Amino acid sequence: MAVAVGDALRRHGIRAVLTGGACASLYTRGAYQSRDMDFIVVGPVTQPGLDRAMASVGFRGPLAIGDDYQIAPTTRSIAAGRALALSATDSCRDRLAAFYHWNDRQSLDVAVSIARRNRVDLARIRRWSAREGFADRFVEFRAELARRRGRRAR
């Protein structure tokens, strides 16, 4: 898939370099598996050009977490500037989606870390988890969160 995406970008005049886990997967001939593709775009590119290139290999769609398409990015500000980002609640849900769908334990750890360090809407995460069919995994998340906070899960 990474080669197909990279080739589509190239065919559309976009120079993009594969990095991260997908690159490691290529060099280990699949011994290491990555669940995402990270490309660094080198040089100028327009959003419509990028959209056309990605659509040519079947990528379409809005920002979503699981089946929830009602995502409202927030603006995060630091001394260096501002950027759009997922809210802490949505970032937690994003990591939980990887845990739920692929049993990615590292993503569970990250979701717990997000919830420990930020104000997240646990009721919203619980409802979303149930709609996604993972109410049982949400219970596991809550238990791990409570364990790391040093108290019993509610």
Neighbouring C-beta atoms of residue 104, cutoff 10 Å: 17
Return all residues near 122 (Cβ < 8 A) that are at least 6 apart: 115, 142
**CA 123 to chain CA centroid, nearest Å:** 21
Calculate what percentage of the chain has a pLDDT beyond 70: 98
The answer to which of 37-46, 55-64, 117-126 has the lowest mean pLDDT is 55-64
pLDDT at site 126? 98
Per-residue model confidence (pLDDT) at position 152: 66
**What pLDDT is attached to residue 153?**
62
Name the more confident of 23 and 115.
115
Measured in degrees and rounded to the nearest 5, phi and psi for residue 40 equal -105, 120
Question: Which residue has better confidence, 62 or 13?
Answer: 13
The answer to whether residue 87 scores a pLDDT higher than 70 is yes
Position 37 confidence tier, pLDDT thresholds 50, 70, 90: confident
Alpha helices per DSSP H over the chain:
2-11, 20-27, 47-55, 88-102, 105-117, 122-131, 135-149
Nearby residues of 19 by Cβ (< 8 Å), 6 or more positions away: 38, 39, 40
Length reported for the chain: 154
Domain residue ranges of the chain, discontinuous segments joined by +: 2-55, 74-149
Residue 43 CA: distances (Å) to CA of 4, 39, 46, 64: 20, 12, 10, 28
